[in-house]
A = this chain, B = another copy of it.
Amino acid sequence: MSILIVGSLAFDDIETPFGSSLNTLGGSSTYIALSASYFTDKIQIVGVVGSDFEKVHFELLHSRQIDTRGVQKIEDGKTFRWSGRYHYDMNTRDTLDTRLNVFADFDPVVPAEYRNAEYICLGNIDPELQLKVLGQISKPKLVILDTMNFWIESKQEELKKTLQHVNIFILNDSEARLLSGDPNLVKSARIIREMGPKTLIIKKGEHGALLFNDNGIFAAPAFPLESIYDPTGAGDTFAGGFIGHLSRCETITDTEMRRAVLYGSAMASFCVEKFGTEKIAALDLLEIEDRYQSFRELSRIEE
């Protein structure tokens, strides 16, 4: 099944206690698409880049069968840039600089050949743009939305309007508390699910993720890794693995949803093991399946 992804394509400057990486390919749709590419070969991106987004960057995406016909290239503009520094514990970071560049005037246009897409992943961008993309899809089967505190604070009404059209909403624990106004995650989940999305995933970083749906709650651990080099993009990579697995299911049951959370977690666990997209651009299916099985083992108890 085809997955349509909208989000940023970016260049990041990243500093962690273990080193730094300058001018590295990033952006929410890059991570989502690379991660999802191991589950289907029909991935379409809608986004915008500047003249500094070179052939080599497109080639990286194409090497993973990612369709970039929906990526507008603005020849007299520059690609979105983000720079950040992670603290010693790797759970918190400071944004040092954000330059929207060509993203400031981004007006997403979904190419005609993308409009029948069934799986839609609205990566973390302005909720008005997310809704604008959604309006151009003829009949989505499943809509997933990711967001961040910036939009919850600056465009909450627009976000809530967009959420009414969303099936699965992904955000992290502090964002859930911010949006719901309640410190308790179980209460937060109930409040947020009333905004529209029947399924909610709350990511807790190194503590795993919680899935809330009509069947109850599923708790996935994070993979206990010895070496975490760079958490950038882990959330987007999670979303990519999650929607990737769902896109290959005939019907989306609670069990498949739980499996999808583990596939998302498995992909995210790879992401943090190297800088930027380095690791998730060069995986093979066997190691993904191995990591997934390790995740299963992590919380399995024999009957």
Interface contact A219-B187, CB-CB below 8 Å:
no
The answer to whether A301 touches B221, judged by C-beta atoms less than 8 angstroms apart, is: no
Which A residues are closer than 8 A to B by beta carbons? 88-89, 183-187, 204, 207-208, 210, 216-221, 224-228, 255, 258-259, 262, 296-299, 301-302
**Do A185 and B219 have beta carbons less than 8 Å apart?**
no
Judge whether B302 and A255 touch: CB under 8 Å.
yes
CB-based contact B220/A299 at 8 Å = yes
Contacts of A220 in B (CB 8 A): 299
Cross-interface CB contact of A204 among B186, B207, B255, B262, cutoff 8 Å: B207
The answer to whether A301 touches B259, judged by C-beta atoms less than 8 angstroms apart, is yes
Complex Cα distance, B224 from A236, in Å, reads 24
A298 in contact with B217 (CB, 8 Å): yes
B residues in contact with A227, CB < 8 Å: 184
Taking the closest CB of chain B, its distance from the CB of A168, in whole angstroms, is: 18
Selected from B225, B262, B301, the residue in CB contact (under 8 A) with A262 is B301
| 15 CB-based A-B contacts, threshold 8 Å | A88-B183, A184-B226, A184-B227, A184-B228, A185-B224, A186-B225, A207-B207, A208-B219, A216-B297, A217-B224, A217-B298, A219-B221, A219-B299, A255-B301, A259-B301
